[in-house]
Amino acid sequence: MKIGIDKISFFVPKYYLTLEDLAVARQIDPMKYTRGLMQEKMAITPLNQDTISMAANAALNILTNEDIEKIDLVMFATETSVDHSKAAATNLISILGLKNQTRVIELKQACYAATAALNFAKGHILQNPDSKVLVVASDIARYGLKTDGEATQGAGSVAMIVSKDPKITVINQHAGFYSDDLYDFFRPSHMDYALVEGHYSNEMYKKFFNESYNDFLNKSNQTLDDLKAVTFHIPYVKIGLKTLSFLTNPDERLDLFENFKDATIYNKQIGNIYTGSLYLSLISLLEQGNLKDNEQIGLYSYGSGAIGEFFSMTTVEGYKHHLNKVHHEKMLNDRVNLSIDEYENIFNSIIKNDFIFDDEPHEEIILKQIKNYKRYYEKKNTWKCSFFILLWKRLKNLKNRVK
Ligand code: CAA
């Protein structure tokens, strides 16, 4: 049975900061960020978006009633969860109107969890061929103001529907793994930001790539010639390019370098989105690149702590007709460029409780309120409805007072 990605989409919040502005504010040569890291912009979340609302916005874009009828497993991959106990996937049941007869779970292993989720989804479809699985990867990557990692922040979500006879890619059988116990990047439970050994984490990323890639080649009996593109977990674009350069060079495989460029167009404009980064890169490759039908893509997933997995997918006939390129490009182009002061103000006003959002929302789904640490979400149309109800009540009160 062929199992894989039937639909895929991403969501990015409405604000961004250019890395040039960040560099100037931090008295750093902008070339360090734009050439040294190969990043242009980083996405900033407004106060009314969190990992849950972003994931819901990404999923809303691809879900139909028929999907909702068939989805019986939702896996939410994140490393910036809003609750230590309640799985964010439970919130999606109400926000997206999913069936109650659905298994829900949140998964964590740094930036890797969505890859595990795809594999679990494959197993689920093998046992239940007519069902569908919703996998979401959603994170807000924050290192803190004026830290070394600041230029590699970002935010966003990817949503994927996994099914049999998928319309976009088939997930192939073989996967290579490498895992070990280390502290390159981690976030103890009481801390708001991750602790990171930046250069050590880069070394581990590359080491785990080599190990898992070789394990994949051994298991699959394939060579680099079988792959038409290689995509990577992209904390910043340069690390992916450097890792690809270990495999080959543009004189031998120009196609891999051209495909890498297409595969990082979106990541360059958004920054690191942790669990979703690899899949954002996959979307960029599929939408912006020229891969033909039935071509094999290698994918490197890395989760600090750490695990590396190298696996592959093959494009499905006609896959280009099932993407969301126009919507994604519009979402990126419609964003608002923040000044450094606006960015720092948002950063310093993150609210954990007693929050109510009153302005007209820009996104389809927003975090409306946090009360007694419980989070309440609202859809745009419902918001308009409640606005008119409120207005009507206020007018009625006024009329009564005049009487
Ligand atoms: N013009 C052009 N290039 C310049 C430059 C200039 N003026 N100044 C510096 N550069 C280059 C450097 O030569 C370097 O490039 P190379 O690596 O090719 O030599 C690049 O810019 C970055 O410079 P530094 O290494 O000096 O930068 P840094 O020490 O300030 O930090 C970082 C870079 C370690 C990535 C840091 O941003 C960081 O800690 N980020 C968070 C951790 C991270 O992303 N790790 C990645 C692997 S772990 C992972 O993948 C999990 C995850 O998602 C976090």
Residue nearest to ligand 1 atom 43, measured at CA: 198
- Ligand 1 test: best mutation among 29, 148, 203, 238, most atoms within 8 Å of CB? 148
pTM for the predicted model, two decimal places = 0.94
* Residue 160 contacts residue 8 (beta carbons within 8 Å): yes
Helix (H, G, I), strand (E, B) or coil at 4: strand
Which pLDDT belongs to residue 360?
73
Residue nearest to ligand 1 atom 15, measured at CA: 36
Residue nearest to ligand 1 atom 20, measured at CA: 36
The mean pLDDT value for 279-286 works out to: 99
**Strand ranges for 257-320 from DSSP E:** 296-303, 307-315
Residue 212: which pLDDT band, with cuts at 50, 70 and 90?
very high
Q: Which residue matches tokens 């099932």? A: 322
- Cα distances (angstroms) measured from residue 237 to each of 127, 201, 225, 263, 268: 38, 15, 23, 10, 7
Name the β-bridge partners of 331.
none
Which pLDDT belongs to residue 359?
73
Give the distance (Å) from ligand 1 centre to CA of residue 282. Answer: 23
Distance CA 44, CA 42 (A): 7
Phi-psi region of 274 (alpha: psi -120 to 50; beta: other; left: phi over 0): left
Asked if residue 151 has its Cβ within 6 Å of ligand 1, the reply is yes
Q: Which residues of 218-234 are buried (b: 16+ CB within 10 A; e: fewer)?
A: eebebeeeebbbbbbbb
Which pLDDT belongs to residue 296?
98
Q: What is the CA radius of gyration of the chain?
A: 21
Annotated binding residue at 29?
A: yes
Give the distance (Å) from ligand 1 centre to CA of residue 308. Answer: 20
pLDDT tops 90 at residue 351: no
Distance CA 220, CA 212 (A): 12
Distance CA 105, CA 75 (A): 5
Nearest to 145 by CA among 192, 111, 200, 188: 192
% of the chain residues with pLDDT over 90: 90
Q: Which residues, other chains included, contact 63 with Cβ-Cβ below 8 Å and sequence gap of 6+?
A: 96, 134, 161
Q: ∠ CA 111-149-155 to the nearest 5 degrees?
A: 50
The mean pLDDT value for 109-127 works out to: 98
Q: Point out the residues that are catalytic.
A: 79, 111, 233
Nearest 5°: phi and psi at 55? Answer: -65, -40
Residue nearest to ligand 1 atom 18, measured at CA: 36
Q: In what order do the strands lie in the sheet with 154-164?
A: 103-107, 71-77, 132-141, 154-164, 3-11, 169-179, 307-315, 296-303, 229-232
Annotated binding residue at 371?
A: no
The mean pLDDT value for 392-401 works out to: 55
Altogether, the residues listed in the chain come to a count of 403
Annotated binding residue at 184?
A: no
Q: Which residues of 240-257 are buried (b: 16+ CB within 10 A; e: fewer)?
A: bbebbeebeeeeebeebb
Nearest to 62 by CA among 141, 132, 129: 132
Angle subtended by helix axes 88-96 and 51-60, to nearest 10:
40
Give the distance (Å) from ligand 1 centre to CA of residue 18. Answer: 17
Name the β-bridge partners of 336.
15
Residue 397: which pLDDT band, with cuts at 50, 70 and 90?
low
Q: ∠ CA 236-208-310 to the nearest 5 degrees?
A: 85
- Ligand 1 test: best mutation among 42, 152, 279, most atoms within 8 Å of CB? 152
- pLDDT tens sequence across 37-56: 999 999 999 999 999 999 99
Name the β-bridge partners of 176.
310
Residue nearest to ligand 1 atom 53, measured at CA: 235
Give the distance (Å) from ligand 1 centre to CA of residue 36. Answer: 7
pLDDT tops 70 at residue 168: yes
Q: Which residues, other chains included, contact 64 with Cβ-Cβ below 8 Å and sequence gap of 6+?
A: none
Asked if residue 37 has its Cβ within 6 Å of ligand 1, the reply is yes
Nearest to 241 by CA among 224, 264, 223, 274: 264
Q: Please give the structure tokens belonging to residue 96.
A: 């997206």
Instruction: Look over the chain and give the mean of its residue pLDDT values, rounded to a whole number.
Output: 94
- HSE-up of 13 (CA within 13 Å, CB side)? 30
Q: Which residues of 61-95 are buried (b: 16+ CB within 10 A; e: fewer)?
A: bbbeeebeebbbbbbbbbbbbbeeeebbbbbbeeb
Annotated binding residue at 112?
A: no
Residue 362: which pLDDT band, with cuts at 50, 70 and 90?
confident
Asked if residue 29 has its Cβ within 6 Å of ligand 1, the reply is yes
Distance CA 213, CA 300 (A): 8
Residue 389: which pLDDT band, with cuts at 50, 70 and 90?
very low
Residue 396: which pLDDT band, with cuts at 50, 70 and 90?
low
Q: Domain 3-350 in CATH: superfamily?
A: Thiolase/Chalcone synthase (3.40.47.10)
Give the distance (Å) from ligand 1 centre to CA of residue 37. Answer: 6
The mean pLDDT value for 339-356 works out to: 91
Cis bond upstream, residue 306 (ω within 30): yes
Distance CA 91, CA 20 (A): 37
Asked if residue 208 has its Cβ within 6 Å of ligand 1, the reply is no
